[in-house]
């Protein structure tokens, strides 16, 4: 489950116009066309852009070796095709393509995880015959719930995070064949030592974040017993607004008014979902409170990770998550058994939905891997978008399979949460971007209009008017019969 994405930019908000990308740590190899090749430096003599300054001591050399005028850029369909190909295969274009793929994968894995857990509660119940009174003659069927264990589900899915560091370890061995296994392990541990973490202090932090992780995911899984999957996912998407609010208070991030408006809109959407079935329907209100609390817990996890751990490398994140899973597997299983024997959770061991449990655990692992390591290939904006794009996909599944209807306060609450989600990703200086966008639109409209006028002037045998892109002014260069420029 997405209890928190601790890696990289834990407390940062990716914005629409400036989707910041977490800097790749030294122990992760990211290859791209823009990176320097082996044995070169970005501004060295073998880089892609070279500037050569030549000094000629003799007058003859300065006259004979005069720089030739630059050749005009090639024109024609082949030149346009090359330019189009180079722009489509640039580094930023590849990041965009990878970002779209990451968004699709995050959406698919997040929707799959939530719906697998939801189906455990609404799956086909078993039927047993019980006697209605003391006489065993009169028997009537009764539906018996075979699985109702949110904490056991949370414990089982959290155990999958143990695989974080093994997956990172294998990827490092494949990518860096010159590194040994001891070097990779030493680098991950040395980064924690450099920050002053002792063994006792480090394990205390692991235990704290493990409890916060389990509580957050337990509230989210428990809310799925009451709410539809789409409602719970929409409420959990409000954690982006909670991250900004806590970052503003704890991490002292810059105050942005539009993001405060986004927080208010998310709160209004949560309130509408809380009362979508009326005031008397207390189970709905309880489920909304649990899902909203899970979103707040995820935000607390991310901001505290940024505050306590700081800027972490991928090796640190992988080791930290694996230790959280190990801590959960070793120390929290007695609590699951205690809830089972006290009757708080219902588990019929012969009818445990193991396929759904394994699917939910594997998909939650994929979601968290993409959420923490996806910034190595693309902008983290695309990872964050996976949270909100999962809502309409889940709504489509609810309509098709469960015949759910979205109208009234339910639909209005989801729309308000979606608007708040996008508003919170507006950059700090968003008025500058809007002004620049409007200016470019005006310039493009002027350019299109004067290109049409220039075409008509060419047909009439007159000089073409020109557009000054620096000032946005039109210079016609059309001369009057007296020779003056009009």
Model pLDDT for residues 366-414, shown as the tens digit of each residue: 999 999 888 888 888 888 899 899 999 999 999 998 888 888 888 999 9
Whether pTM exceeds 0.85:
no
Q: Rounded to whole angstroms, how far apart are CA atoms 197 and 209?
A: 15
Residues with Cβ within 8 Å of residue 24, at least 6 apart in sequence: 30, 314, 376
In this structure, the number of other CB atoms found within 10 A of the CB of residue 330 comes to 8
Same domain (yes/no): 251, 366: yes
Same domain (yes/no): 447, 362: no
Specify if 70 maps to a domain: no
Q: Which of 85-94, 270-279, 474-483 has the lowest mean pLDDT?
A: 474-483
Same domain (yes/no): 168, 311: yes
Same domain (yes/no): 313, 232: yes
Question: What is the model's pLDDT at position 480?
Answer: 47
Domain residues for 439? 433-475
Question: What is the model's pLDDT at position 85?
Answer: 62
Question: What is the model's pLDDT at position 388?
Answer: 92
Specify if 270 maps to a domain: yes
Same domain (yes/no): 333, 463: no
Specify if 190 maps to a domain: yes
Same domain (yes/no): 289, 330: yes
Q: Rounded to whole angstroms, how far apart are CA atoms 191 and 312?
A: 8
Residue, of 163 and 42, whose pLDDT is higher: 163
Same domain (yes/no): 253, 387: yes
Q: What is the mean pLDDT of the chain?
A: 77
pLDDT (tens digit, 9 = 90+) per residue, 56-80? 443 344 444 555 555 555 666 666 6
Q: What's 351's DSSP letter?
A: G
Interval 11-25 mean pLDDT? 55
Q: Rounded to whole angstroms, how far apart are CA atoms 266 and 272?
A: 10
Query: What percent of the chain is predicted at pLDDT more than 90?
Result: 37
Interval 347-353 mean pLDDT? 87
| Res. 241: pLDDT tops 80 | yes
Question: What is the model's pLDDT at position 40?
Answer: 36
Specify if 49 maps to a domain: no
Residue, of 178 and 485, whose pLDDT is higher: 178
Q: What's 131's DSSP letter?
A: E
Same domain (yes/no): 380, 460: no
| Res. 130: pLDDT tops 50 | no
Same domain (yes/no): 454, 424: no
Same domain (yes/no): 325, 420: yes
Cα angle value 96/45/80 (rounded, 5°): 45
Which region holds residue 206: left if phi is over 0, alpha if psi is between -120 and 50, else beta?
Answer: alpha
Q: What's 485's DSSP letter?
A: B
Question: What is the model's pLDDT at position 366?
Answer: 95
Interval 455-475 mean pLDDT? 54
Same domain (yes/no): 292, 441: no
Residues with Cβ within 8 Å of residue 91, at least 6 apart in sequence: 32, 33, 34
Same domain (yes/no): 290, 340: yes
| Res. 351: pLDDT tops 70 | yes
| Two structure tokens written together for 2 | 């997405």
Confidence of residue 239 (pLDDT cuts 50, 70, 90): very high
Specify if 15 maps to a domain: no
Total domains, the chain: 2
Interval 212-235 mean pLDDT? 94
pLDDT (tens digit, 9 = 90+) per residue, 409-440? 889 999 999 999 998 888 777 777 778 878 88
| Res. 217: pLDDT tops 90 | yes
Question: What is the model's pLDDT at position 83?
Answer: 61
Question: What is the model's pLDDT at position 42?
Answer: 32
pLDDT (tens digit, 9 = 90+) per residue, 28-48? 333 333 333 333 333 332 233
């Amino acid at each position: 489950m997405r209890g928190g994405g601790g890696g990289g930019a834990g407390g940062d908000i990716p914005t629409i116009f400036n989707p910041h990308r977490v800097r790749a740590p030294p122990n992760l190899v990211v290859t791209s066309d823009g990176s320097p090749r082996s044995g070169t430096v970005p501004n060295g003599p073998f880089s892609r852009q070279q500037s050569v300054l030549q000094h000629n001591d003799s007058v003859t050399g300065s006259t004979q070796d005069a720089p030739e005028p630059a050749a005009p850029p090639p024109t024609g369909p082949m030149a346009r095709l090359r330019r189009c190909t180079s722009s489509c295969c640039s580094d930023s274009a590849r990041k965009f393509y990878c970002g779209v793929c990451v968004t699709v994968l995050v959406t698919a894995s997040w929707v799959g995880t939530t719906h697998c857990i939801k189906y455990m509660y609404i799956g086909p119940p078993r039927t047993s015959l019980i006697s209605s009174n003391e006489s065993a003659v009169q028997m009537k069927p009764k539906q018996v719930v075979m699985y109702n264990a949110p904490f056991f589900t949370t414990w089982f899915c959290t155990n999958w995070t143990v695989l974080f560091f093994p997956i990172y370890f294998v990827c490092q061995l494949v990518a860096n064949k010159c590194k040994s296994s001891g070097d990779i392990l030493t680098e991950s541990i040395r980064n924690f030592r450099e920050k002053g973490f002792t063994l006792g202090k480090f394990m205390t932090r692991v235990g704290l974040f493990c409890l916060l992780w389990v509580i957050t995911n337990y509230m989210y899984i428990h809310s799925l017993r009451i709410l539809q999957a789409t409602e719970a996912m929409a409420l959990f998407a409000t954690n982006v607004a909670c991250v900004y609010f806590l970052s503003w208070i704890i991490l002292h991030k810059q105050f942005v008014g539009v993001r405060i408006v986004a927080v208010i809109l998310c709160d209004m959407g949560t309130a509408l979902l809380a009362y979508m079935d009326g005031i008397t329907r207390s189970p709905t209100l309880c489920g909304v409170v649990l899902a909203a609390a899970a979103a707040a817990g995820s935000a607390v996890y991310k901001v505290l990770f940024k505050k306590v751990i700081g800027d972490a490398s991928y090796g640190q994140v992988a080791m930290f998550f694996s230790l959280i899973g190990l801590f959960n597997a070793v120390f929290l299983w007695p609590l699951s058994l205690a809830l089972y024997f006290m009757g708080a959770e219902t588990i019929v061991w012969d009818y445990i939905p193991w396929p759904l449990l394994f699917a939910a655990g594997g998909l939650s692992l994929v979601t968290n891997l993409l959420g923490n390591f996806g910034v190595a290939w693309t902008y983290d904006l695309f990872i964050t978008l996976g949270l909100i794009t999962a809502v309409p996909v889940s709504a489509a599944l609810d309509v098709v399979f469960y015949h759910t209807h979205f109208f009234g306060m339910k639909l209005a609450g989801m729309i308000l949460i979606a608007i708040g989600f996008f508003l919170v990703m507006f950059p700090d200086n968003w008025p500058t971007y809007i002004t620049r966008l409007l200016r470019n639109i005006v310039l493009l409209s002027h350019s299109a209009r004067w290109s049409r006028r220039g075409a008509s002037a060419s047909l009439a045998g007159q000089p073409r008017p020109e557009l000054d892109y620096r000032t946005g002014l039109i210079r016609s260069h059309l001369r009057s019969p007296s020779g003056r420029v009009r």
